[in-house]
Amino acid sequence: MKGILFVLSGPSGTGKGTVCAELLKRDNNISLSVSMTTRECREGETPGVTYHYVSVEEFKHNIENGEMLEYAVYGDNYYGTPRSSVEKLLNEGKDVLLEIEPQGALQIKSKFPEAVLLFLIPPSMAELKNRLVSRGREDTEEIEKRLEAAKWELMQAEKYNIHIVNDSLDECVDRVIEYFNEKRAERRKIEELINELG
Ligand code: 5GP
């Protein structure tokens, strides 16, 4: 049985990265896809683990060669999901998690209607801004750009399978795992029925 493609998306600052890190600790059946980006590697990040860092030329070359499952320009940089590693894991029956922004998530939805899309919602816009400021990763101009992008991103929420508010991290991760397990059970049931038909 092929693995399930789970997509965790939502505006920057909703805590996608933290939720993913917790999920990976608690759910052994899921592998995180390492994205490719043209942005610079920040302090505390590890090439090949946090992202694959490439030049704009290399990224464009990968797009032209059909090597990206999805990609988006976010801020001034390209971000995207390498196709081959994700397809390999899915074909091995492993569930794969993509932690990506909404332009990419919607590309996945149109290419893989069977993918499960989860939208993480901030408790309020004030809290979103507060999280972006307090994590101290982006300068004021970049934070403004991310908040501006959040408006369009929130308008896409209704296209997702489920919305989960990230207020308390533990409760949010519990709900995500519960939802993933519901989806796995649904798929297993369908497989069983198909197998019964022979
Ligand atoms: P950051 O620069 O903060 O690491 O990421 C900026 C945004 O890009 C975040 O919303 C993050 O989820 C998103 N992102 C990371 N990897 C990918 C990817 O492979 N594809 C897309 N579409 N977005 C990504």
Is the Cβ atom of 172 under 6 angstroms away from ligand 1?
no
Closest CA to 164 of 23, 4, 43: 23
pTM of the full predicted structure?
A: 0.95
Q: Report pLDDT for 31.
A: 96
Tokens, residue 133: 């400021």
| Residue 22 near ligand 1, beta carbon < 6 Å | no
Rounded-to-integer distance, Cα 37 and Cα 40, Å:
8
What pLDDT is recorded for position 198? Answer: 84
Using a 6 Å cutoff on CB, does residue 16 contact ligand 1? Answer: yes
Q: What are phi and psi of 5, to 5 degrees?
A: -95, 110
Q: What is residue 99's predicted lDDT score, i.e. its pLDDT?
A: 98
What atom of ligand 1 comes closest to residue 9's alpha carbon? 12
Ligand 1 pocket: which of 7, 14, 35 to mutate (most atoms within 8 A of CB): 35
Pairing of β 116-121 and β 36-37: unpaired
How do the pLDDT tens digits run along the chain, 198 residues long?
A: 899 999 999 999 999 999 999 999 999 999 999 999 999 999 999 999 999 999 999 999 999 999 999 999 998 999 999 999 999 999 999 999 999 999 999 999 999 999 999 999 999 999 999 999 998 988 999 999 999 999 999 999 999 999 999 999 999 999 999 999 999 999 999 999 999 998
Q: Whose CA is nearest to atom 7 of ligand 1?
A: 101
